[in-house]
Amino acid sequence: MSGAATPPALRLRGAELAHGAHRLWSGLDLDVAPGEFVAVLGANGAGKSSLLKVVLGQHALRAGTVEVAGRPARRGDRRIGYVPQQKGLDPATPLRARDFVRLGLDGHRWGPLLPSRRTGRRVDDVLAAVGATAYADEPVGRLSGGEQQRLRVAQSVVGEPDLLLADEPLLSLDPHHAAAVTALVDACRRRTGAAVLFVTHDVNPVLPYADRVLYLAGGRFRVGTPDEVMTSQTLSSLYGSPVQVLRSGGRVLVAGAAAPAEHPHAHEGVH
């Protein structure tokens, strides 16, 4: 896409999302520039994962528009990379690490799965970039959760997407691996220029990388730099109840926000 102005990797205008009668958020305007890292935060049920499903074309907006790199969002847009939550793969999965990554390149294509030298080189490059070369030929189901999540990042960027969507990719990883996987996402967006929409319930692992934060809560939202959004004042007005944002040693702690269990729609994203 050459031309005067590169369209934003993601553009939402007046977007409103609802599950039946329950409105999750509305009036959402957001432009994500190519190469930008946007963290999506908020309570369970605030519609974070649903936002990703909207971008993936799997959920329709009730109102407004959503465009990915200049074109309306649609199912199976190959310009989007996707990293899901970490879920252990079956130990008997008939894929080695490199085959697993390759599916992100051409897994959607009809026909048999045959060895390919062309895809092999690209897969090798990405494996090296995420530091997975050492276990490239290991069965993917026998790798650790941290290793599998590295491969999921590799799988999501091997097709050189314009937009990378990460849906709680750090869940069930220990802090060490969470930090490594987040750094990896950041390195990949710097390498490829992909924009990143990173859904997480914990802001701390993404704090060093996030250019902006989209905070969803109570049907409202706030967009801004982490320093603008992650304040007691902003979050208190979002939640409509007192919220304390504490900063200590470079970490942010949000206290007093509605606990997930108290929220009526704690099963957001599970459809």
Partner 1 sequence: MGAVTWSDVFDFSDYGALLALVQNSLWAGALLGLVGGLVGVVVVARDLPFAVHGTAELSFAGGAGALLLGVDVVAGSLVGSVLAAVLFGVLGNRAREHNSAIGVLMPFGLGLGVLFLALYEGRAANKFGLLTGQIVAVDDPQLVSLAVIATVVLVALLVLWRPLLFASLDPEVAEARGVPVRLLSPVFMLLLGLSVAMSVQVVGALLVLALLVTPAAAALRVSASPYLVPVLSVLFAVVSVVGGTLLALGSSVPISPYVTTVSFLLYLGCRLVARLRRPPARAGAGPVAEPLTAA
Sites of contact with partner 1 (CB under 8 A): 56, 58, 75-78, 80, 82, 84, 86, 88-96, 99-100, 103-104, 106-115, 138-146, 148, 152, 155, 165, 172-175, 177
β-pairing verdict for 220-224 and 212-217: antiparallel
Which one, 89 or 199, has the nearer CB to partner 1? 89
Which one, 175 or 240, has the nearer CB to partner 1? 175
DSSP state for residue 260 in the 8-state scheme = G
Residue 5's CB: how many other CB atoms inside 10 A?
Answer: 7
Separation between Cα atoms, residue 270 and residue 16, nearest integer Å: 19
Which one, 40 or 223, has the nearer CB to partner 1? 40
Residue 259: which of 232, 238, 239 has the closest Cα?
239
Structure tokens at 194: 């992909």
Question: Please, what is the minimum distance in Å from the beta carbon of residue 23 to partner 1?
Answer: 25
DSSP state for residue 263 in the 8-state scheme = S
Contacts of 59 (CB under 8 A, 6+ apart): 17, 50, 53
Residue 205: which of 52, 46, 41 has the closest Cα?
41
Which one, 82 or 221, has the nearer CB to partner 1? 82
Which one, 172 or 236, has the nearer CB to partner 1? 172
Contacts of 262 (CB under 8 A, 6+ apart): none
